[in-house]
Each structure stands twice: as C-alpha cells, then as structure tokens.
Amino acid sequence: MIDALFLSIGQFSDRRIILLLVKMFLISLLLLAGLGAGLYYLLTWLFSLSSWNDGGFAAATAAAVIAAIASILLFRIVAMFVINIFSDDVVDAVEARHYPAHAETGKSASYVLGLKMGLRSALRALGYNILAAPIYVGLIVTGVGTAIAFFGVNAILIGRDLQDMVAARHIGSGGQGGDEIGSEWELRKVQRFGLGLVTALLLAIPFINFLAPILGAAMATHLVHRHRSMVE
C-alpha cells in the first residue's frame, strides 16, 4: 500500500496528470459554486415568501454558511463523481508507465460510462451516509466515534469505486456497476478498505483533497494489477 502511494505521488510528474488535476480542480469548484448559487436562489425565494424585509442579505448570508458546511461534507461526493468521469486518464497514464502490457489491452472507457459510474457512486454515497446519519449523531457524545464511523463507511464505498474504475478499462460493460467484476479484478476486502480509507482521509485535508481522487485512482491501478498478477 505504501509503495503504491509513493509510486502514485511520482505520477504527478506526468503532463497528463497535471492537466487532469487542473481540469478536476476547475470542475469541482464549478460544481461547488453551483451548489452555493442554488442555495442562494432557493433561500431568496423562501425569504420572499416571508415578511422579512432584508431577505436578500439574509439569503446570501445563510447560503454562504450552508454552502461552506455542505462543501466540506459533500466534497468527497463531488470529487469522486468527477474522478469517475476522467478515471480513464489516470489509469491509462499509470498503466503506460508501469504496466505497458495492460495498457495495450485496455479499452478506453467512454465519458458516458464514466458519468454513469460517477452518478452511481454519488447515489451510493448519499444513500449510505444518510442511512448512517443516526449512527453519526448518536456517536457525537464519544468525541471521535462519529469521525471513525464516517471514515469507515466511506472507506468501504470509495475502495469499491476506485477498484471498479480500473476494471472498467478491461472488462467492458462489467465496469458499469461492478456487479460482473470477476475475482481476478477484486481486491481483498482488507486491501480495498485500506485503499478507500487512505483516500477518504486525504479527501479531508484542505488543499490535499484536490489531489486525493487522482492519488486514489493511481493507487488502485497499482493494487489491482499486482493482485491480478498474483491470481493469474
């Protein structure tokens, strides 16, 4: 795992990865800005229904506060949604440098497939985190319980997402939902959880969080191909 992390960090010297990072950064900011704008207009409309005279200012203030909180909570979902769309760029770059034989046999996943995988990832993340919300709230009194539960749930989800991104290049339609992925493409549960946990923790660190999805996808590429070489 550590070796895969350092190899993935070294991949940032690749021009394609640098361009992808810039692209992901801009798209993620646009999506988060869209969230803030949507909240502003929603709150402005709600305040306009009330007798509050200064509804516009109140809406702007409330939207700014809510958007700031939501951006922290939802950044993980936005980042994984975006990396699903462009995951082929990361996987292809890693394979070209470290696994040229697999790079030749891999098929570029379409942006449509990436969009479908990204939407499934986002819906899974929203669904499972909403279901786990009562647990998060109940563990607040423990001090660290909520954070442990949050990172545990999301480590499982992110690990699966990253594994499927790599498999999508090599098994065609099986990568669309992950249900048809064979055992040769599935990481061991502990390894997949570790991959997801490292990525989830990196996603929680300001500034580093923009690098985390690319690092996670690159790490997954190393881990999946090494696993394949062991089971073949």
pLDDT in 10s for each residue of the chain, 232 residues: 788 888 888 888 888 888 888 888 888 788 877 776 776 677 667 666 665 555 456 556 655 655 555 566 678 888 888 888 888 888 888 988 888 887 777 777 677 888 888 899 989 998 998 899 889 888 888 888 888 999 999 999 999 999 988 888 777 544 444 445 666 678 889 999 999 999 999 998 888 888 999 999 999 999 998 887 776 6
Six token digits for residue 81:
């949604």
Six token digits for residue 177:
């939902």
| DSSP output for 182-214 | -GGGPPPHHHHHHHHHHHHHHHTSTTGGGTHHH
- Output the pTM of the full model: 0.79
Spell out the residues 6+ positions from residue 30 whose beta carbon is closer than 8 angstroms to its own.
none
Q: Using an 8 Å Cβ cutoff, are 106 and 92 in contact?
A: yes
SS3 107: coil
Domain-by-domain residue ranges, the chain?
A: 2-30+75-231
183 DSSP assignment: G
Model pLDDT, residue 182: 61
Q: Using an 8 Å Cβ cutoff, are 115 and 161 in contact?
A: no
3-state secondary structure 29-71: HHHHHHHHHHHHHHHHHHHHCCCCCCHHHHHHHHHHHHHHHHH
Q: Using an 8 Å Cβ cutoff, are 222 and 8 in contact?
A: yes
Beta-carbon count within 10 A of 186 CB: 19
